[in-house]
Amino acid sequence: MRKGMGHQQSTSLTTTLKVDPRTLLLSQLVQYNSAELDQIVDSELHANPALSKVDDSEPHQTHEDILKSVAPQELAPTSDARELWRSLPQDAEDHDWLDLARVRDSLSDKLRGQLAHQVTGKDRAIADYLIGSLNDRGYLTCPVEEVALDCDCSLEQVEKVLDLLKQCEPAGVGASDLRECLLLQLRSAETDPEKLARLILKNDWERLVQRDFKGFRRKYGVGAPLVEEALEVITSLDPFPGESFDRPSGHQAHSAAVTPDIVLERSEQGWQVSVAGAASGSLRIDRLYDQKFRQAGTMERDEARHVTEQVGRARRFIEAIESRRALMLEIGSYLLSRQTGFVATGDPKFLVPMTRTKMANDLGKHESTVSRATSGKFVQIATGEVVPCDLFFRPALKIQRMIEEILSAENPNSPLSDESIAKILHERGVKIARRTVNKYRDKHRLLASHRRKSA
Neighbouring C-alpha atoms within 13 Å toward the C-beta of 377: 30
Where residue 396 falls among pLDDT bands split at 50, 70, 90?
A: low
Query: Do 402 and 441 touch, CB atoms closer than 8 A?
Result: no
| Higher per-residue pLDDT: 439 or 195 | 195
Q: In sequence order, which residues have a C-beta less than 8 Å from that of residue 100 and are 6 or more positions away?
A: 109, 112, 113
The whole-number pLDDT of residue 159 equals 93
Q: Which pTM does this prediction carry?
A: 0.51
Question: Residue 417 burial by CB count (10 A; 0-12/13-18/19+): exposed, middle or buried?
Answer: middle
pLDDT tier, 5 (very low <50, low <70, confident <90, very high otherwise) = very low
The helix or strand, by DSSP H or E, that contains position 380, with its residue range, turns out to be: strand 378-380
Averaging pLDDT over each range in 57-66, 71-80, 324-333, which range is the top one?
324-333
Sign of CA dihedral 361, 366, 367, 371: negative
Would the pLDDT of 3 be above 90? no
Model pLDDT for residues 17-34, shown as the tens digit of each residue = 445 667 777 877 888 888
- Nearest C-alpha neighbor of 262 from the set 324, 345, 342, 184: 324
* Residue 388: its H or E element: strand 386-388
Q: Which bin fits 410, alpha (ψ -120 to 50), beta or left (φ > 0)?
A: beta
245 band by pLDDT with thresholds 50, 70 and 90:
low
- Tell me if 135 sits within 8 A of 242, measured CB to CB: yes
Q: What is the mean pLDDT of residues 344-359?
A: 81
pLDDT over threshold 60, residue 96: no
416: helix, strand or coil:
coil
Torsions phi, psi of 261, nearest 5? -90, -35
Please list the residues that pair with 386 across neighbouring strands: 380
Angle of the 356-363 helix axis to the 301-338 helix axis, nearest 10: 120
Secondary-structure breakdown of the chain: helix, strand, coil percentages, each rounded to the nearest 5: 60, 5, 35
* pLDDT band at residue 181 under the 50/70/90 scheme: very high
Q: Which range, of 17-26, 131-140, 272-281, 294-303, averages the lowest pLDDT? A: 17-26
Q: Which pLDDT band holds residue 174 (cuts at 50, 70, 90)? A: very high
3-state secondary structure 148-200: HHHCCCCHHHHHHHHHHHHCCCCCCCCCCCHHHHHHHHCCCCCCHHHHHHHHH
Cβ atoms of 50 and 311 within 8 Å: the answer is yes
User: Rounded CA gap, 451 and 143, in Å?
Assistant: 47
Spatial separation of the C-alpha atoms in residues 74 and 308, rounded to whole Å: 9
Task: Identify the bridge partners of residue 285 per DSSP, sorted by sequence position.
Answer: 51
CB 454 within 8 A of CB 419: no
Q: What are phi and psi of 141, to 5 degrees?
A: -100, 0
Closest CA to 84 of 45, 34, 36, 122: 122
* Alpha carbons 213 and 405: distance in angstroms, whole number: 40
Mean pLDDT for all residues in the chain: 75
Q: Are 117 and 124 in contact (CB under 8 A)?
A: no
Q: What is the pLDDT of residue 436?
A: 63
| Closest of 362, 351, 364, 340 to residue 390, by C-alpha | 351
Listed by start position, the domains of the chain span: 19-166, 187-236, 250-309+325-393, 397-454
Range with the lowest mean pLDDT among 380-384, 408-412, 443-447?
Answer: 443-447
Instruction: List, in sequence order, every beta strand (DSSP E) within 191-337.
Output: 262-267, 270-275, 283-285
Cis peptide before 170 (omega within 30 of 0): yes
Q: What is the mean pLDDT of residues 265-281?
A: 83
Beta carbons of 354 and 392 less than 8 angstroms apart:
yes
CA-to-CA distance for 340 and 382, rounded, in angstroms?
10
More confident residue, 92 or 124: 124
- Residue 101: predicted pLDDT: 33
Concatenated DSSP letters for 51-114?
A: EEEPPTTSPPPPHHHHHHHT-GGG-PPPS-HHHHHHTSGGG-----HHHHHHH---HHHHHHHH
**Please, are residues 304 and 78 in contact by the beta-carbon 8 Å criterion?**
no
Report the CATH superfamily, name and number, of domain 397-454: Homeodomain-like (1.10.10.60)
Q: Is the pLDDT of residue 297 over 80?
A: yes
Do residues 394 and 240 make contact, with C-beta atoms less than 8 angstroms apart?
A: no
pLDDT at 284 over 70: yes
The rounded distance, in Å, linking the Cα atoms of 384 and 64 is 35
Query: 14 pLDDT band (50/70/90 cuts)?
Result: very low
Q: Mean of the pLDDT values across residues 46-54?
A: 88
With 90 as the cut, is the pLDDT of residue 61 above it? no
